[in-house]
Amino acid sequence: MSALYKTSALVLNSTDYGESDRIVNFYTMDYGKICGIAKGAKRSKKRFVNSLESFSFVKLIFAKKQGAGLARIDQCELIDGFHNIKKDLETITAASYFVELLSEMVREWQRNTKAFELILNFLRMLDDGREPETFSRFFEVKLLTILGYQPHLDKCTVCKYAPDADTIIYFSSAKGGIVCKRCIKPNENKIPISAGTAKSLALAARTNLEHLNKLVLPPLVLKESKELLGNFIRYQLGKELKSMKFMETIG
């Protein structure tokens, strides 16, 4: 017996399978990440009209047998295709990064409605023309926070000293946050940053999505944020993401 499930979902990615099928990874509102097969999707375009492309927001019905690996995609109806994202290489790259990062950081069948709403809202904001570079940093810091990996950015993780705005401090991925000049060890793996960068990211983590566009990250803050968050994410995942490498090359 297979159970039938109905939920909203985002298409993370999809690939052709065999003569006529597609394998699709979804992030669903009610069941977390699931992987399914859309039988005949390559042959019958009518059945899944544009709804299996990356970043599509869809209404999904799928069936899943107990113990079976893949779900069977029965219906997938497009709600929003975020078509503006697909008009520009920089926004496509940012959106690809969002879905890859989320996909790597969550497990299958683990519901997290906050993470679902976050990615949906960030794709919407990209589609509405928000600046991809800045919003990639906001997405990283928000997603890390929601999934329980929030970097500690307010006080030194060793002595709890709150650095003044214009001092140089360090970010240590192993310690999960900032370390002041007095506590940092010479041979420790660290990234020097300005205290202003730590403050800006801590503020972004606390700011509601509707107010994020009022937060401006100056060029130095943007540069340091990219380096420290990239380093921290690599440390957490134990690997480099494909879309992150691609972003470096189009840089």
Q: List alpha helices for 54-147, DSSP H.
A: 89-105, 113-127, 132-146
Nearer to Zn ion, 36 or 196 (CB): 196
- Residue 178 as a binder of Zn ion (CB under 5 A): the answer is no
Nearer to Zn ion, 46 or 182 (CB): 182
CB of 195 to Zn ion, least distance (A): 12
- Which residues lie below 8 Å from residue 74, measured CB to CB, with a gap of 6+? 4, 61, 62, 63
**Is residue 79 a contact partner of residue 49, using CB atoms and an 8 Å limit?**
no
Nearer to Zn ion, 34 or 180 (CB): 180
- Residue 180 as a binder of Zn ion (CB under 5 A): the answer is yes
- Residue 183 as a binder of Zn ion (CB under 5 A): the answer is yes
- What are residue 63's DSSP bridge partners? 4, 72
Using CB under 5 A, which of the segments 77-85, 102-110, 160-168, 196-204 binds Zn ion?
160-168
Within 39-97, strands assigned E span: 57-65, 71-80
CB of 180 to Zn ion, least distance (A): 3
CB of 168 to Zn ion, least distance (A): 13
- Which residues lie below 8 Å from residue 217, measured CB to CB, with a gap of 6+? 134, 137, 200, 225
Phi, psi dihedrals of residue 165, rounded to the nearest 5°: -60, -35
Residues numbered 140 to 159 that lie near Zn ion (CB under 5 A) are: 156, 158-159
Nearer to Zn ion, 5 or 161 (CB): 161
Nearer to Zn ion, 136 or 194 (CB): 194
Q: Which residue has the tokens 């109806």?
A: 77
Q: Which residue has the tokens 């041979």?
A: 187
How many amino acids of this chain bind Zn ion (CB under 5 A)? 6
Q: Which residues bind Zn ion (CB under 5 A)?
A: 156, 158-159, 161, 180, 183
